[in-house]
Amino acid sequence: VSVWAKVPAGPPDPILGITEAFKKDTSPQKINLGVGAYRDADGKPYVLPSVLAAEDKVISERNDKEYLPITGLGAFTQAAAVLAYGADSKPLTEGRVAITQSLSGTGALRIAGAFLARHYPHAKEIYVPSPTWGNHIPIFRDSGLEVKTYSYYDKKTVGLDFEGLKKDLQAMPDKSIVLLHACAHNPTGIDPTEAQWREISSVIKSKGHFPLIDNAYLGFASGSVDKDAFALRHFVEEGHQLILCQSFAKNMGLYGERVGTFSVVCADKEEKARVDSQIKILVRPMYSNPPVHGARVASTLLTDEKLNAQWLSEVKGMADRIIGMRSTLFDLLQELGSKKNWGHIKNQIGMFAYLGISPEQVDRLAQEHHVYLTRDGRISVAGITNHNVRHLAESLHEVTK
């Protein structure tokens, strides 16, 4: 018998499964709203013109292909930290942020999981919002943390369950690790307001919890980096020691290049040096050192003044197109006479909209209308265009009558 005879077949990835079904559908009306990648106004993958220009610049430099240091390209990580924390962030100017380049956001979260599992001095448990990005749970479980949840989504309002969230933060043991989505919460598209963030920060502080901030959508949510960085910067100002996981997949459209950072706000320079040494000890046996090309491109976009301005306007262009599609979808549903309250489609932010429909309605959308999304009722708004929005609105109206 084969060595692997007893390996059980695992379930297919829920999102990739949708793409499979979409590919098999031969209807010209079919729409794929499953995958979380930006599409342009014609539904095509979009390479940012600023990224193409930065790539030209990088290639013209004829750099060598030597290994990067374990913690990656220093010019990139420094610029990435300034983008997220802000140029006058105290921990940055005081040189006490330990930062390393990561394999995009997922890789950053995986380093975070491993670092916390090895070095966090309290319970090795992490609380994630319910619901959260599907991959959070296996990432932390495989890192050796126990994963628990806190209230986040209110089914009745298709909004934030703020009271439930605060109650759960209070009820957790002191010094718990709490994962927060910095902005554009995935899958719900529901973010706390700035006032609510302030309260969340106070509760977390009074309980001595440890915030782990996942920021996969900086600038991509509202179109403004500073606005989307509010929660992170507020937490830092409030003196939280925190971990930040940053991805450049969405805001630079660098999905497959795997560009991100993992950083730890430390008490002082000496502590930062110790933390840095332990990050290297974690990373070296995992993948030795990160890939160089995407980091050079991102670094160019962050440090070349002209390209930086161009990139920021293109990020805003992507955010604005998504915000515009939310309005169009909402308006069409009204026009069609839908009796349902769809205000949440406009109030939510970021790549995804959580429709608040049942798994059975999702199935009908696919089977009767060729519209594909995850069974939790999440659509990638980035997949909506002027060409397909009417068919989407009509289908949605039909299954929710």
The residue among 246 and 400 lying less far from ligand PMP, judged by its C-beta, is 246
> Does 400 sit near ligand PMP (CB under 6 A)?
no
Distance CA 90, CA 27 (A): 55
The residue among 35 and 123 lying less far from ligand PMP, judged by its C-beta, is 35
Choosing from 161, 214, 228, 376, which is the catalytic residue? 214
**Please, what is the minimum distance in Å from the beta carbon of residue 41 to ligand PMP?**
22
The residue among 162 and 255 lying less far from ligand PMP, judged by its C-beta, is 255
- How is residue 238 written in tokens? 């409030």
Query: Is 276 labeled as catalytic in the residue annotation?
Result: no
Estimate to the nearest angstrom the gap between the alpha carbon of 187 and the chain centroid. 9
> Does 38 sit near ligand PMP (CB under 6 A)?
no
**Please, what is the minimum distance in Å from the beta carbon of residue 329 to ligand PMP?**
21
Residue 246 sits at φ, ψ, to 5 deg, of -120, 135
Binding string, residues 237-276; x marks residues near ligand PMP by CB under 6 A: ----------x-x-----x----x----------------
Write the DSSP string, 6-30: TPPPPPPPHHHHHHHHHHH---TT-
Choosing from 250, 272, 311, 342, which is the catalytic residue? 250
Q: Please check whether residue 72 is in contact with residue 287, taking contact to mean a CB–CB distance below 8 angstroms.
A: no
Subset of 155-214 contacting ligand PMP (CB under 6 A): 181, 186, 214
The residue among 160 and 393 lying less far from ligand PMP, judged by its C-beta, is 160
Choosing from 30, 133, 161, 342, which is the catalytic residue? 133
Query: Is 156 labeled as catalytic in the residue annotation?
Result: no
> Does 356 sit near ligand PMP (CB under 6 A)?
no
The residue among 172 and 351 lying less far from ligand PMP, judged by its C-beta, is 351
The residue among 109 and 282 lying less far from ligand PMP, judged by its C-beta, is 109
Query: Could you tell me the sign of the dihedral formed by the alpha carbons of 81, 84, 87, 90, in that order?
Result: negative
Stretch that binds ligand PMP, among 24-32, 99-107, 142-150, 199-207 (CB under 6 A): 99-107
Query: Is 214 labeled as catalytic in the residue annotation?
Result: yes
Distance CA 277, CA 100 (A): 11
Q: In which region does residue 309 sit, left (phi positive, over 0), alpha (psi from -120 to 50) or beta (all else)?
A: alpha
Scored b (16 or more CB within 10 A) or e, 213-250 reads: bbbbbbbbbbbebeebbbbbeebbeeebebbbbbbbbb
Q: Please check whether residue 292 is in contact with residue 130, taking contact to mean a CB–CB distance below 8 angstroms.
A: no
**Please, what is the minimum distance in Å from the beta carbon of residue 271 to ligand PMP?**
27
Distance CA 30, CA 391 (A): 9
> Does 380 sit near ligand PMP (CB under 6 A)?
no
Distance CA 231, CA 194 (A): 7
- List interacting residues with ligand PMP (CB under 6 A): 36, 104-106, 133, 181, 186, 214, 216, 247, 249, 255, 260
Q: Which residues are catalytic?
A: 133, 214, 250
